[in-house]
Copies of this chain bind each other. A is one copy, B any other.
Amino acid sequence: MAPIKLGMVGGGNDAFIGGVHRIASRIDGRFDLVAGALSSTEEKSKASGAALGLAPDRCYGDFIEMAKRETRLKDGIEAVAIVTPNHVHYAAAREFLKRGIHVICDKPLTSTLADAKKLVTAAEKSDAMFILTHNYTGYPMIRQARAMVEEGAIGQIRVVQAEYPQDWLTTPLESEGLKQAEWRTDPERSGVGGCVGDIGTHAYNLASFVTGLKLQSLAADLTAFVPGRRVDDNVHVMLRYEGGAKGMLWSSQVAPGNENALKLRVYGDKGGLEWSQEDPNYLWFTPHGQPKQLLTRNGSGAHEANQAASRIPPGHPEGYLEGFANIYSQAADLFVAARDGRVPAHHLPTVHDGLDGVKFIDACVRSSQRDAAWIKLG
């Protein structure tokens, strides 16, 4: 089966997430990166492209030019990965969607709620597909957790505890020239949410993905602890889900000792599930009143959903890049199916999940501005 021809917007030298997307697209051999608007000028874009082995004439200084020309090429790209700072997502995605090129876009969906809504419309109008890389949903044990919840293994859910602490912004790196810190703490490029948009939204999305619950309302207390920081760096949220479940969400970028300590714990009236991103090949399952079980990736008793997302035997850890690659490779399955117009049902994050995430960010910011008042999710 021929690989999907892929373009990339953003992801030039110095970018972190672009490299991740490229590896994820390669792991299962399902994509060929053939074009890019990798940087903001043609010169830089060609330099970055050369290092990646792209043909010079397919390195663009502008995503509109790229969208136009690739559409006309006989062997033009079938899909594009958008890995720019958040404020560019909408404008870029729109250009490709309207030309029938599938979009794989980094999260959060957009930097504003208005853009998010427009992007939903653009995606709905398009024949092409839109996939959002909420990559943590690609981990095999998360797939198993979701399947177990669906099948009733823990009964009716009561309590959801989600958290995503980091420590890298404990000091004001944004004023010390670190590019990653600069744009992520700049409301113009990142959006009104800082930590809440960068990682809080991952925790929120993961909880939604695993539990299948819909958030009804939230009360949030956002803080910028580092002097001079223009966006929040610590996020406390209380959650109320439709149907009565309650939750808490904590994300922070000023918690020393936490690298990427995303963690999800879900408790129902029949059992509990606990998972930690830093040790992703394990899932703790406690059927109430029985001993805890340590479920493993592709291990004894692994759910089909876990096996389907695994490449190698248990005990040989798969990590972040493989989980990310699961998003890409399943997107490739969808894109191949779309060639014949037959897109199957799937669990990959869509533009609607993206809108949901931006609504979450927006609600957190508004709640916090009103002293943590409860805000209903629309």
Chain A interfacial positions (CB closer than 8 Å to B): 1-3, 16, 19-20, 22-23, 26-29, 52-53, 154, 158-159, 161, 163, 166-168, 170-171, 219, 221, 223, 225, 234, 236, 238, 240, 246-248, 250, 252, 254-261, 265, 267-272, 274, 277-281, 284-296, 299-301, 311-322, 371-372, 374
Contacts and interface: CB of A to CB of B under 8 A. Distances in A.
B320 A320 contact: no
A354 B44 CA distance: 45
Copies in the complex: 4
B314 A317 contact: no
A16 B313 contact: yes
A248 B219 contact: no
Contacts of A167: 267, 272, 286, 288
B313 A260 contact: yes
Contacts of A225: 158-159, 269
A281 B252 CA distance: 22
Contacts of A53: 1-3, 29
A222 to B, nearest CB: 9
A154 B272 CA distance: 27
A257 B286 contact: yes
Nearest to A22: B29
A291 B296 contact: yes
Which 6 residue pairs across A and B have the least CB separation, nearest first? A259-B315, A260-B315, A257-B286, A319-B319, A317-B319, A256-B272
A19 B256 contact: no
B221 A238 contact: yes
A285 B52 CA distance: 38
B286 A291 contact: no
Contacts of A22: 29
A374 B374 contact: no
A299 B170 contact: no
A27 B26 contact: yes
Given A2-B53, A19-B312, 16 more contacts: A19-B311, A170-B269, A170-B288, A171-B269, A236-B248, A238-B238, A254-B269, A255-B267, A256-B267, A259-B313, A259-B315, A259-B316, A292-B294, A293-B294, A316-B319, A372-B372
A167 to B, nearest CB: 7
A320 B321 contact: no
A375 to B, nearest CB: 12
Contact of A316 (B257, B318, B320): B320
A158 B259 CA distance: 17
Contacts of A372: 219, 238, 372, 374
A321 B325 CA distance: 12
